[in-house]
A = this chain, B = another copy of it.
Amino acid sequence: MHERTRAEWRATRQRAAVLRALHLHDTFVSAQSLHAALAADGVTVGLTTVYRTLRLLAASGHVDVVRDSAGERLYRPRPDDGHRHYAVCRECGLSLAVDSDEVERWVARIARDIGFHAVDHTVELTGLCERCRPPMSRPAAGPPARRRTPSAG
């Protein structure tokens, strides 16, 4: 079978839109938020298509995926440096890439110790960023950052 190297990624208005919207965010976003943002921008893309596109992007390693506490998948374009671990503020959604060499090494060692193969790992840090201080005894240090689900402006 002499398959010519045909384009494995067809360029469509919708995919471009999803990509663009995705890159407008500095935080992890859910498929639904993205769809809503698109719609709010007057761009009509089917929810199904958003899901499909994100799934493709995730499968091809172009975006990172985390799960929030409710089990919802949140997406974010993977930065050039290949970072794969983040600390996510559970108040405003701010996500910071985190130096993860140490965990990688730790995981590798554990895997060897217990005789596990093909070990995959999930490391998720959630907390409150500096702007979203804990509610207890808050000295009113400015308003907390906005919540996720941005207006995609």
Chain A residues with a Cβ under 8 A of chain B: 67, 71, 73, 87, 89, 96, 98-99, 102-103, 106-107, 110-111, 114-130, 133-134
| Cβ contact within 8 Å between A119 and B114 | no
Nearest chain B residue, comparing its CB with the CB of A72: B71
Selected from B89, B119, B123, the residue in CB contact (under 8 A) with A87 is B119
Q: List 23 A-B contacts (CB under 8 A).
A: A67-B67, A67-B71, A71-B71, A87-B110, A87-B111, A87-B114, A87-B116, A89-B116, A96-B114, A98-B114, A99-B110, A110-B125, A111-B125, A111-B127, A114-B129, A115-B130, A117-B128, A117-B133, A118-B134, A120-B125, A120-B127, A122-B123, A122-B126
CB-CB under 8 A from A114, the residues of chain B are 87, 96, 98, 129
- The number of times this chain is found in the oligomer is 2
CB-CB under 8 A from A126, the residues of chain B are 119-122
Q: What are the 9 tightest A-B residue pairs by CB atom distance, in nearest-first order? A: A119-B127, A116-B127, A122-B124, A115-B130, A71-B71, A117-B128, A121-B125, A120-B126, A118-B128
CB-CB under 8 A from A107, the residues of chain B are 125
| Cβ contact within 8 Å between B98 and A117 | no
Determine the distance from Cα of A103 to Cα of B110 in the docked complex, in whole angstroms: 11
Determine the distance from Cα of A110 to Cα of B99 in the docked complex, in whole angstroms: 8
Determine the distance from Cα of A106 to Cα of B126 in the docked complex, in whole angstroms: 14
CB-CB under 8 A from A67, the residues of chain B are 67, 71
CB-CB under 8 A from A106, the residues of chain B are 102-103, 106
